[in-house]
Structure 1
Amino acid sequence: MNGILLSAEDSVTLAERPAGALVAIAVAAIAVLLFLIIKVRLHAFFALTVVSLVTALAAGIDVADVVTVVVDGFSSTVGSVALLVGFGAVLGRLVEVSGGAQVLSDKMLATFGERRAPLALAVASLFYAFPIFLDAGFIVMLPIIYTVARRLGGSFMLYVLPSIGAFLMMHALTPPHPGPTAAATVMGADIGLVVFVALLVGLPTWYLAGYRLSLVISRRYPNLPVPNLLGEPEVTEESERPGFGTVVLCLLLPLILIFFNTLLSTMNETGSVGDENVFYRLSELIGATPIALLISAMAAMYLLYVRPRRGRSLGGVLEDLVDKALAPVCSIILITGAGGAFGSVLTETGIGSMFAESLDAMGLPVILAGFLVAIAFRVAQGSATVAATTSGSIMAPAVADLGLSGVGLAAIVVAITAGSITFSHVNDSGFWLIGRFCGFDTVTTLKTWSVIGTAIGFMAFALSWVVYAVAA
């Protein structure tokens, strides 16, 4: 998930605090935040905002800069998340109310069988997560998960958690997602080899730590109901349901547009396509994830809803549909932004950098040091993307001194990205986004999302070390 780092021009005044005091402040802030949310039942948006302000003051950020740090963290996170969540929620709602989710679930269950429904959803999520960000892709997949869960009954956890594991693995380890792409770039690794090692490591990791572990955890929640966060389910006449191919086209359209951008960008970097190439310039616009989702949502309005209902008066219906899709996600966007603000405060204190410098100076094996540095940044500031990017930058000189390249270097990149998704907690915007869309309370999110992410991170690291040892 996205996080922020203030630029040099936006640097703030920070009073000197001993390292031990900063750690104590961070631990106390997280403890107070959990207490307010879990015990006091204060709304997470207010709890995160209040704790962010108090933590900034306690950590020594100048009074004049406190609001700037909090607002910058909030606005940066919301700026990256709001469009993805908004357009993704509308696309997901269209898939559901048009009957498209029912069409897909019928096809999926007929192909895989009801007993393999969690596996079918996880595999579908695995493919869908490859080119698209976790938050956007997961929101679009949600109505399909909702529909399957309602049809088959049982706990919602059984169907949603395996999909979460698939999205987590792909988002954390594989380019073109921002964390692994940035880490590979700053360390000089070949993107193609990083994708190869990430899939070599990631697929068994997903199956064991993502899918199988999810099935075990879901047994602890046998009666979790299906939430209605995208609106109440609607029954659609079979004659008005879109065709299977049409639904698949609407779901694949954002992936096609994003892949188009990725392909042209790669060709531009290699010199095959110039900066002024009309297709490259077009790909920069329509291949950006928010625009790809906007185009897909607009196309879905016509293909999934309007065209199958030709001859019917639909005046105001689409507007009402969009309003109902956006209303439930407003609270989620605010909570996610507040989580980004809290992460921004912890980033500004330098706690993550302090841990990273200590680990880097211990003389650990370079792949282990990179993994631990990424964990330190992840725990301190929340963003997996920032953790992977910053850790890659810190470890790049040590890797360069060793003269590593090829598969060995790619394995180190994957190890760093594995560390970047471990120990997700209340300063991670993804923690709130996924938890709220699934209808989880804070404790449940810690016991599910956080556990799955940490298990994936540690198993991926262990396997990447094996690849590194073999390559070396």
Structure 2
Amino acid sequence: MHILLPAATADALVLAERPTWALIAIAVVAIAALLFLIIKLRMHAFFALIIISVLTGLAAGIGVGDVMAVVIAGFSTTVGNVALLVGFGAVLGRLVEVSGGAQVLADAMLRRFGEKRAPLALAVASLFYAFPIFLDAGFIVMLPIIYTVARRLGGSFMLYVLPSIGAFLMMHALTPPHPGPTAAATVMGADVGMVVLIALLVGLPTWYLAGYRLGLALAKRYPDMPVPNLLGEVDLDEDTPRPGFWTIIFVLLLPLVLIFFNTLFTTLEASGAVGEDNVLFRLSRLIGNTPIALLIATLFAMYLLYLRPRRGRGSIGGALEDLVDNALAPVCSIILITGAGGAFGRVLTETGIGATIAEGLDALGLPVILAGFLVAIAFRVAQGSATVAATTAGSIMAPAVAELGLSGIALAAIVVAIAAGSITFSHVNDSGFWLIGKFCGFDTVTTLKTWSVIGTAIGFMAFALAWIVYALAA
């Protein structure tokens, strides 16, 4: 089996054959050893992930000279995807927080919803913010607002953050333009617009019960969870006027608008309505790219939230530089851990365990929607990435779907079922597991009992509802 690496490192790398039972045993032992190192021995997750990644690769048959190429490929790919999003998102969130913008938004939400429904207000805001923007970037920008509400109202931090996590998980898992469901819809030939409709039909009740309500129930188990201090204490300057409500809304919505701009023209180009040489299409591919959209929003935030209110106070450039440094410093460790999680996931992918399980499920003659869901789960557990799981499961199930001649609502329901499987059973090989857990101040066990439980509940409930839609439409 050839190892799938970037062109620069993919020359003649071969994985020694291992029996199926041996691959599964290696994966189970690797995950157990990783949890033991992190939970029992208190080893830093970055070191534990890299060590176990190397040992797992060697045990699975990757050559001594090649194992680090696999680890580095997984690490660099994950960091390349995450670092810009996390970096820009952390600075944007810090600007919203230190300017008093988070306080302005918190006051507005509490006036509208009331203090008792603050978790619902945060969850609804997260639903809207999560629709076009990736989970990691959107959650990091929302986090200072969650911090502010939690500090103001008191009580467990879990009460405010878990419902929002459920909102981001549901949107990220089920709805285009997020990459997993979009890729699955594309490879299976489903209409993306129909997938969006079915995803929302299935996803909104799923979010309310398996995200919001379950989040509140889980929060009761952690009545004394403090608000983390990851981004530092907020020292608001009482002499500086707070930004206006609509200024904050503009800064937060700007990346969403730019991303939607890109989505719109990408759809028009794919349908032939505009050509590749269209000026707006080419512009959208630049400014609508998520990292660039966040960069643009962050630059606007620097001026509107920090520089403009402090004009006439002498040199403020140095203070802004310190603010950016303080925002970036805490996330460096998180980026490294996230990259190491990607390396571990890549090593597990190269063992072929996900593909082996998927082939077995596909051969059992299960209903196509159930087979797609289980195949997605297999890839999710094996390699960690929800996007890869949805894309790969969609590719595997595409021939069976084509043979059945499915289309319209039925096909969209299968895509949603596959996307639902891709969000279940998040664990230590999922970069999002580490990213969200660390930003929330959770230890590994707490992340498993909250993030992983909510994601799995969302996946199974969304699948059940998608199967009902499929049964009615097929």
Tell me how far apart the structure 2 counterparts of residues 339 and 84 of structure 1 sit (CA, whole Å): 17
1:177 matched to 2:178? The reply is: yes
1:287 aligned residue: 288
Which residue in the other structure is 1:6 paired with?
Answer: 5
Say if 2:39 and 2:445, in contact at 8 Å, map to a contact too: yes
Separation in structure 2 between the aligned mates of residue 239 and residue 326 of structure 1, nearest angstrom? 24
- 8 Å Cα contact 1:5/1:347 also seen in 2: no
- Judge conservation of contact 1:88–1:137 (CA < 8 Å) in 2: yes
Say whether residues 1:76 and 2:81 are aligned partners: no
The Cα offsets for residues 377-397 of structure 1, whole Å up to 9 and x where unpaired, read as 000000000000000000000
Matched, 1:122 2:84: no
Deviation per CA, 1:209-252, whole angstroms, max 9, x where unpaired? 00000000000000111111122222232752100000000000
1:184: how far off?
0.1
Q: What's the TM-score, normalizing by structure 2? A: 0.98
Q: State which drifts further: 181-190 or 15-24.
A: 15-24
Taking the aligned partners of 2:268 and 2:458, their CA distance within structure 1 comes to 32
Give 3-state SS (helix, strand or coil) of 1:387's partner. Answer: helix
1:47 aligns with 2:48: yes
Structure 1, unpaired ranges of 5+ = none
Moved more, 309-318 or 232-241: 232-241
Tell me, yes or no, if the aligned pair for 1:205 and 1:460 is still in contact at 8 Å.
yes
Cα distance change, pair 123–37 in 1 and its aligned pair in 2 (3 A): same
Distance 2:217 2:148 in 1: 22
Give the AA of the match of 1:107: A
Q: Secondary structure at the match of 2:65?
A: helix
Change (3 A) 1:238 1:316: closer
After superposition, give the CA deviation of every residue in 1:420-465 in whole Å (9 maximum; x if it has no partner): 0000000000000000000000000000000000000000000000
C-alpha displacement at 1:33, in angstroms? 0.2
In the alignment of these two chains, the number of paired residues is 469
Q: Deviations for 1:92-151, whole angstroms, at most 9, x for unmatched residues? A: 000000000000000000110000000000000000000000000000000000000000
- After TM superposition, list the pairs within 5 Å mapping 1:169-248 onto structure 2: 169-237=170-238, 239-248=240-249
Question: Are positions 1:113 and 2:114 aligned together?
Answer: yes
Corresponding position of 2:381: 379
Asked if residue 420 in structure 1 is aligned to residue 419 in structure 2, the reply is no
Corresponding letter in the other structure for 2:445 = V
In 2: Cα distance, 1:258 partner to 1:75 partner = 24
Task: Name the amino acid aligned to 2:407.
Answer: S
Residue of structure 1 equivalent to 2:325: 323
The runs of 5 or more residues in structure 2 that have no matched partner are none
**Matches of 2:30 and 2:15, distance apart in 1:** 18
1:255 aligns with 2:264: no
Q: Is the 8 A contact 1:367 1:415 kept in 2?
A: yes
Contact (CA 8 Å) 2:6, 2:73: kept in 1 or not? no
- Could you tell me how far 1:168 is from its partner in structure 2? 0.2
Aligned pair 1:24/2:25, yes or no? yes
In the alignment, what sits opposite 2:156?
155
**8 Å contact from structure 1 (residues 5, 344) kept in 2:** no
TM normalised by structure 1 equals: 0.98
Instruction: Describe the superposition over 1:260-291 as per-residue Cα deviations: whole angstroms up to 9, x where unpaired.
Output: 00001111111111111111111100000000
1:303-359: CA deviation from partner (whole Å, max 9, x where unpaired): 011111222121301000000000000000000000000000000000000000000
SS at match of 1:316: helix
The answer as to whether partners of 1:103 and 1:243 remain within 8 angstroms in 2 is yes
Equivalence for 1:353? 355
1:304 corresponds in structure 2 to: 305
Change (3 A) 1:387 1:93: same
Give the whole-Å Cα distance in 2 for the aligned partners of 1:5 and 1:194: 30
Percent identity between matched residues is 80
Check conservation: 2:120, 2:163, Cα contact below 8 A.
Answer: yes
Give the counterpart letter for 1:432 in structure 2: W
Secondary structure at the aligned position of 1:64 is classed as coil
What's the secondary structure of 1:221's corresponding residue?
A: coil
For residues 262 and 17 of structure 2, the distance between their equivalents in structure 1, rounded to whole angstroms, comes to 45
Matches of 1:402 and 1:234, distance apart in 2: 62
Provide the C-alpha distance between the structure 2 equivalents of 1:273 and 1:63, rounded to a whole number of angstroms.
50
Answer whether contact 2:358 2:375 (CA < 8 A) is retained: yes
Q: 2:441 corresponds to which residue?
A: 439
What is the alpha-carbon distance in structure 2 between the residues aligned to residue 128 and residue 12 of structure 1?
42
Distance 2:100 2:392 in 1: 44
In the alignment, the residues of structure 1 paired with residue 430 and residue 265 of structure 2 have an alpha-carbon distance, to the nearest angstrom, of 32
C-alpha RMSD of the superposition: 1.1
Quick check: 269-278 or 164-173, which moved more? 269-278
Q: Give the whole-Å Cα distance in 2 for the aligned partners of 1:315 and 1:197.
A: 49
Match of 1:336 among 331, 335, 338: 338
- The structure 1 residue matched to 2:454, chosen from 452, 455, 465, is 452
In the superposition, relative to structure 1, how do residues 373 and 306 fare at CA in structure 2: closer, same or farther (>3 Å)? Answer: same
